[in-house]
Amino acid sequence: MTNTYRSIQSLRTRLKTLRTRKKSIGFVPTMGALHEGHLSLLRRSRKENDITVLSIFVNPTQFGPSEDFRRYPRQEKNDERLAINENVDIIFYPTEKTLYPSGYLTYINIDTMTRHLCGASRPEHFRGVSTIVGKLLNIVQPDKMYLGQKDGQQAAIIRKMVHDLNIPVNVRICPTVREPDGLAMSSRNAYLTSQQRSEAPVLNRALKAAREEVRSGIKRAAIIEKLIRKNVNANSSADIQYVTCVDANTMQPVKTLTGRVMIGIAAHFGSTRLIDNITFTA
Ligand code: AMP
């Protein structure tokens, strides 16, 4: 039985009852327009907890002024159907006013980790993400929270926030779910024209090729980044925003690929910005 809650108070009352009954709570925060990537997180939560809470909220504070907040897909009915299908216990569907009432002033800012990769071109983005996730964690108080590696920098930042702020939740980062041709599933894929859609898997292919190059002995980040750019430019009309090799924990750029590393990429296909990453031990 899936129940939808829109107010913090009614959700808290329900969760309190469940907690006194010693039910473990798994939490999956999303912006909706659910796809297989989101569903994989819900399934993992179902497997590892008694109760699964899904939140759906297109968070305005993580979008820049010229970004796609207004056109971001909102598909409440379809999302609800998918959630019911996955036996989600609770959907939290708050309004903007509920989470950011007028006069709202408090934000969570995480240093250094937010400067590179997506943070370089989206200066306010991670402040919005960490603030909303911090708020949702305080509201839901889950035992475990499930995030996707698809947003690798986001996952690392949230893990750090949970650690630094002593938030009592276990953060589980789950693998990126991909289309058969390798394109990482994303709610934004729906914006792509058929030509762009056919080109978009180049991001994943270029990252995988780069991993092989690192394994064959090319360890200099500048060279690897150049090879990725060359590959993407030769095989698509994408406009690359960044290709950056970072330490997988700190999200700081590295000069040489050694140990646990992540290579992140963002590129525009027309007006649609896609991101992807690959994490491995070099
Ligand atoms: P979003 O709705 O885009 O904010 O994503 C909500 C959660 O789903 C985040 O933790 C994302 O990293 C995760 N997610 C999005 N796409 C995928 C995917 N293709 N595979 C795995 N997780 C994903």
According to the model, what pLDDT value does residue 236 have?
97
pLDDT attached to residue 11: 98
Strands 170-174 and 272-281, bridge-based pairing? unpaired
Termini Cα distance of the chain: 46
Q: What CA–CA distance (Å, rounded) separates 213 from 245?
A: 13
Q: Which of 38, 116, 125, 268 is catalytic?
A: 38
pLDDT the model gives residue 277: 98
Ligand 1 center from residue 24 Cα (angstroms): 22
Question: Is residue 89 classed exposed, middle or buried when 0-12, 13-18 and 19+ CB atoms within 10 A define those classes?
Answer: buried
Say what the pLDDT of residue 71 is: 94
Percentage of the residues of the chain whose pLDDT score is greater than 70: 100
pLDDT at 159: 98
In 141-193, which residue ranges form alpha helices assigned H by DSSP? 152-164
CA 3 to ligand 1 center in whole angstroms: 22
Q: Work out the average pLDDT over 175-204.
A: 98
Question: What confidence tier does 271 reach under pLDDT thresholds 50, 70, 90?
Answer: very high
- pLDDT tens figures, 127-166: 999 999 999 999 999 999 999 999 999 999 999 999 999 9
Average pLDDT over residues 76-82: 98
Nearest CA-CA partner of 247 in 261, 258, 257 = 261
- For residue 24, the model assigns a pLDDT of 98
Q: Which two tokens stand for residue 250?
A: 């700190």
Q: Rounded to an integer, what distance in angstroms lies between the CA atom of residue 274 and that of residue 6? A: 31
What 3-state class would DSSP assign to 128?
helix
Q: Above pLDDT 90, what percent of the chain?
A: 100
Atom of ligand 1 nearest to the CA of 185: 19
CA–centroid distance, 219 to ligand 1, in Å, is: 30
Catalytic, 125? Answer no
The confidence score (pLDDT) of residue 115 equals: 96
Question: Which mutation among 27, 31, 36, 38 tests ligand 1's pocket best, with the greatest number of atoms within 8 A of CB?
Answer: 38
Q: What is the pLDDT at residue 200?
A: 98
Under the phi-then-psi rule, with left for phi > 0, alpha for psi from -120 to 50, and beta for the rest, what region is 141?
left
> Per-residue pLDDT tens for 51-60?
999 999 999 9
pLDDT computed for residue 86 by the predictor: 98
Pick from 34, 42, 150 the residue to mutate for probing ligand 1's pocket: most ligand atoms within 8 Å of its CB.
Answer: 150
| CA distance linking residue 44 with residue 48, whole number of Å | 6
| Pairing of β 260-269 and β 239-247 | antiparallel
Query: Side chain identity at 260, as an amino acid letter?
Result: R
CA atoms within 13 A on the CB side of 128: 17
Q: Contacts from 107-114 at CB under 8 Å and sequence distance 24+? A: 107/61, 107/131, 108/134, 108/161, 108/165, 110/157, 110/160, 110/161, 110/164, 112/250, 112/251, 112/252, 113/153, 113/156, 113/157, 113/160, 113/250, 113/251, 113/252, 114/153, 114/157, 114/251
Q: Classify residue 90 as exposed, middle or buried by CB count within 10 Å of its CB (0-12, 13-18, 19+).
A: buried
Cβ proximity of 147 and 158 under 8 Å: yes
Q: What is the mean pLDDT of residues 64-80?
A: 96
Averaged pLDDT score across all residues of the chain: 98
What residues flank ligand 1, with Cβ below 6 Å?
30-31, 37-38, 40-41, 147-148, 150-151, 174, 176-177, 184-187
* pLDDT tens digits, 200-258: 999 999 999 999 999 999 999 999 999 999 999 999 999 999 999 999 999 999 999 99
Per DSSP, which regions of 31-86 are E strands? 51-56
